[in-house]
Amino acid sequence: GITDRAPRQSRREPLRPAGRRQALSARHRSAVPAV
């Protein structure tokens, strides 16, 4: 879903500092070691 696409897009195109933090949090919550 969108959560799956968010990680890659966030890494490539950082929308905003806050958005970046939210994306990271979402990644950790989703338990997806994409870091």
pLDDT of residue 7: 61
Could you list the pLDDT tens digit for every one of the 35 residues in the chain?
A: 555 665 665 556 655 655 556 666 666 566 555 55
pLDDT of residue 1: 52
pLDDT of residue 22: 63
Nearest alpha-carbon partner for 35 in 2, 14, 16, 7? 7
Rounded to two decimals, the pTM is: 0.18
pLDDT of residue 26: 62
pLDDT of residue 4: 60
- Alpha-helical (H) ranges within the chain are 2-12, 17-30
